[in-house]
Structure 1
Amino acid sequence: MQWRRHVIGLAFSFVFVVSYFTNKFVLSVLNFTYPTLFQGWQTFIGAVLLLMSGKLGWVEMSRVSRSAALSWLPGSLLFVGNIYAGSRALSRIDIPFFFTLQNSSHVVSFCIIKVLQREKTHWLKFISLCLMLLSAFNLPLFDPQLDYSGYLWAACHLFCVGAYRVFQVHSKSNNLSDYEQQCINYLFSVLLLALAAHPTGDLTGALEFPSLQSRTFHCGCCASALLGFFMLLASVRLKRGISLHHFRVWIFLSKVTAMSLSPFIFYMNINISSCLCVVTSHAGEALLLYSDSDTQPS
């Protein structure tokens, strides 16, 4: 049984890396910077595939009550902010820098939990959070291709990620399964992003996009939507077979793999100082994982 968990973990890492690379390719290389349409397309395909899988019995999904769906809407709003701001940031920031900034979402989660529950913090955890926060603050100072807009969107993204992490654990709708939560997220995202497509100018800009008829563009968009759905399936399957701590370890390993391979796929302008910020941030995340495992009851 242990080897099956490793196979599922490796499959998750593979989908994780390829999904980020595909999104980065569409957003940066093809320069399709219209997140309401790009994320709207991804969430629409995800919703269709998830509902279809539920109908066919491939995934376990129950009928969601109206009260449960309404109580989950704040989480769905944070999910939309996560993917929208994340797309904006990823289109302007290299993958290693993006993950370095995203790591500081743990600081956001920590601050929110600290307000809700005044518990004593382990000194290793405090050090790890400081390392991630300092790396995120110093990275813009050393980034040779500083894009203020990209960093602003990254700040919005990391706040939504951190708040969503806390909401997912402490929500009153914790009786909803991962698939049911994501189904609500998808449907809400499609509705909100569709309404926002015209006011943001994304619809007009996309109609004038030079590569709109390109086969490469179509393949990239289709692949990004399918990979997002496959990553959902792989993550849920992986979480069911291991503890939450080990699941976070797999995410950490997947991010390190993506950062290590990204210079071979995309052009990057990185110097020693910015590279040190990246390494320090992920050393802090590794220390956070260690401190969490050290404080868990045996």
Structure 2
Amino acid sequence: MCVRRSLVGLTFCTCYLASYLTNKYVLSVLKFTYPTLFQGWQTLIGGLLLHVSWKLGWVEINSSSRSHVLVWLPASVLFVGIIYAGSRALSRLKTSPAKICSALLLLAAAGCLPFNDSQFNPDGYFWAIIHLLCVGAYKILQKSQKPSALSDIDQQYLNYIFSVVLLAFASHPTGDLFSVLDFPFLYFYRFHGSCCASGFLGFFLMFSTVKLKNLLAPGQCAAWIFFAKIITAGLSILLFDAILTSATTGCLLLGALGEALLVFSERKSS
């Protein structure tokens, strides 16, 4: 059992690292700044893979009840906000005392970073704030509905379907649908390969996250997530163009300390 948990944790970390670095490469290096198309592609691939997994009997999906679907609809709207705002931000940026301290440290790090970021981009930080607000609202809505008749897989399946439909309709008003024709790497194999990888890696990250949460205690799950974030952040600094100052480094370390305290509080309460 211990070996199985370790394998699930390592699989999650690998998918987390590969998924975020691939997305960062497409959004910031290749500068594919068309989030309705990029996120629509990712959710389409994720939805198709999840549907195929369901038909093959690998996962169980129970979303036939219309009332359950309607109750989850606001969360799906927030999910679109999370992925859309996160994509826009990534293309432009790089209850217990312990939990309270963790939140304060993370807030302090996030608040200080814009004032010490030598690569400051106001538009990127704006979308980062929208992303965080959507994440917070999504988690609150998710917790308020527990115990829910929909499993994590059911919820993600509905999120995928709703995201594909909404982003497809939004691609024209936002201008992404026709602007993408001017994208300089549109016919390059490295762009095609990165987009395909991002779609599949996003699905595997979602699947491994669900497995991680179902198999491990909250404290152990938080520890693996923290480990994945630290590795991803470290490699991002090494692989991508980032200008680090002493103040920026201090903000990053403060944020890491906040995350570590959050892991400590989760392990203590579990």
Please tell me the TM-score bracket, short chain as reference.
over 0.9
2:132 counterpart of 1:158: yes
- The match for 1:185 among 137, 159, 169 is 159
Show the counterpart of 2:247: 273
Structure 1 vs Structure 2 CA RMSD: 1.3
Instruction: For 1:276 and 1:197, locate their aligned partners in 2 and report how far apart those are by CA, in whole Å.
Output: 39
CA-to-partner distance for each residue in 1:169-200, whole Å, 9 max, x for gaps?
21267121111100000000001101100000
The answer to whether the Cα contact below 8 Å between 1:89 and 1:153 also exists between their aligned partners in 2 is: yes
Equivalent residue number for residue 178 of structure 2: 204
What is the percent sequence identity of the aligned residues? 50
TM-score normalized by structure 2? 0.97
For structure 2, the 5+ residue unaligned runs are: none
Q: Distance in 2 between matches of 1:172 and 1:148?
A: 37
Distance 1:242 1:292 in 2: 12
Q: Match for residue 264 of structure 2?
A: 290
Residue identity matched to 1:286: A
CA displacement at 1:135 relative to structure 2 = 0.9
Q: 1:280 deviation in Å?
A: 0.5
Aligned mates of 1:154, 1:62 — CA distance in 2: 33
Q: Distance in 1 between matches of 2:169 and 2:146?
A: 28
- 1:135-177 per-residue CA deviation (whole Å, 9 max, x = no partner) reads 1111000000100000000000011111111211212671211
Look up the match of 1:123. Answer: 97
Is there any run of 5+ residues in structure 1 with no aligned partner, and where? 95-120
Contact between 2:43 and 2:161, CA under 8 Å: does it hold in 1?
yes
Alignment map for 1:1-298 (pairs within 5 Å)? 1-94=1-94, 121-171=95-145, 174-296=148-270
Shift >3 Å, 4+ stretches: none
> Does the aligned pair in 2 maintain the 1:23–1:224 contact within 8 Å?
yes
Q: Name the amino acid aligned to 1:161.
A: V
Indicate if the aligned counterparts of 1:71 and 1:173 stay in contact, CA closer than 8 A: no
Q: 1:23-49, CA deviations, whole angstroms, 9 ceiling, x for partnerless residues?
A: 000001110000000000000111111
Aligned mates of 1:7, 1:246 — CA distance in 2: 13
How many pairs does the alignment contain?
270
User: Partner of 2:61: helix, strand, or coil?
Assistant: coil
Deviations 1:193-218 (A, max 9, x none): 01100000011111221111111110
Letter in 2 for 1:27: L
The whole-number CA distance in structure 1 between the counterparts of 2:146 and 2:17 is 33
Take 2:9 and 2:236, find their aligned partners in 1: how far apart are those partners? 20
Deviations 1:196-254 (A, max 9, x none): 00000011111221111111110010000000001111111222211122212211110
| Letter of the 2:42 counterpart | Q
Q: Which moves more between the two structures, 37-46 or 230-239? A: 230-239
Q: Is the 8 A contact 1:93 1:147 kept in 2?
A: yes
Give the letter aligned to residue 54 of structure 2: G
Q: 2:88 is aligned with what amino acid?
A: R
If the length of structure 1 is used for normalisation, what is the TM-score? Answer: 0.88
